[in-house]
Amino acid sequence: MADTKNRVALVTGGSGGIGRAVCERLAREGYAVAVHYAGNRARAQETADAVAALGAKSMLVVGDIADETQMTTAFDAVESEFGGIDVVVNTAGIMLLSPIATLDLDDLDRMHRTNIRGAFVVSQQAARRLRSGGALINFTTSVTRLQFPTYGAYVASKAAVESMTMILARELRGRDITVNAVAPGPTATPLFLDGKDQAAIDNLAKAAPLERLGTPDDIAETVAFLAGPARWLNGQVLFANGGIA
């Protein structure tokens, strides 16, 4: 295990289900954690309080991840408070489902702005700021392989994130910075469960050989591995899905 006691992590979407689990998991490893949020300050504060309760330093930063000025300010604030950044975990994203034939193109634009431009802006800042020995962890989805109907536009945005992540890993040659992506399978978060009836949830739970949905803690464990000890994993997509794909 890498020495994490003096490391600093910035987690975008830290007020969400997976984002909060990641913040708490890294706090248990001793990271100082900057909890990013875009709109729900109260939920982000709950995450920051949970991090502090685990004995780790915490702070809040706010901003639209697709706005380069706001994210520059957010990264500046973390560096000012904690002295640098070692790990960036980009969990922030949106998912709007529809058959391709009937998709509202405004929804396509919304997802692409957050999921592609946002990931690009955060990755760009991370590439400029991460200290030697650092890690950038983006988020994609196992549906890039599972190819569920109604996920077409969402998967298109996440496939772009996968490709960008692979290229950035190679562009940072010589910096001792790893760049990877986590691809969760069906995970019991509000984002995933919204709009699904119990039968659909049960079917998805049975699809994995482990016969359950993933939990935010399952995903956070994968992130902690990539953030700390996994220094020989670089330019990879890790499918955290219980064997569903």
The CATH number assigned to the domain holding 195 equals: 3.40.50.720
- C-alpha dihedral (177, 136, 130, 26), degrees to nearest 10: -110
Q: Please report which helix (H) or strand (E) contains residue 129, including its range.
A: helix 118-129
pLDDT, position 1: 43
Catalytic residue, chosen from 31, 37, 151, 154, is 154
Total domain count, the chain: 1
Task: Please report whether residue 1 resides in a domain.
Answer: no
Task: Please report whether residue 27 resides in a domain.
Answer: yes
Task: Please report whether residue 244 resides in a domain.
Answer: no
Going from the first residue of the chain to its last (245 residues), give the mean pLDDT of each consecutive group of 10, the final group possibly shorter: 76 94 97 96 96 97 98 98 98 94 97 97 98 98 93 96 98 98 90 79 88 94 95 97 87
Can you give the pTM of this predicted structure? 0.94
Instruction: Determine whether 154 is an active site residue.
Output: yes
pLDDT, position 188: 87
Q: Which structural domain, as residue segments, surrounds residue 185?
A: 8-239
Task: Please report whether residue 175 resides in a domain.
Answer: yes
Three-class secondary structure of residue 95 per DSSP = coil
Using an 8 Å Cβ cutoff, are 211 and 154 in contact?
A: no
| Backbone Cα Rg of the chain | 17
pLDDT, position 71: 98
pLDDT, position 128: 98
pLDDT, position 202: 87
Distance from C-alpha of 210 to C-alpha of 17, rounded to nearest angstrom? 21
pLDDT, position 25: 97
Task: Please report whether residue 3 resides in a domain.
Answer: no
Task: Please report whether residue 82 resides in a domain.
Answer: yes
Task: Please report whether residue 67 resides in a domain.
Answer: yes
Distance from C-alpha of 100 to C-alpha of 176, rounded to nearest angstrom? 41
Q: Within the chain, where are the H helices?
A: 17-28, 41-53, 68-82, 105-111, 118-129, 143-146, 152-171, 190-193, 198-207, 216-227
Task: Please report whether residue 22 resides in a domain.
Answer: yes
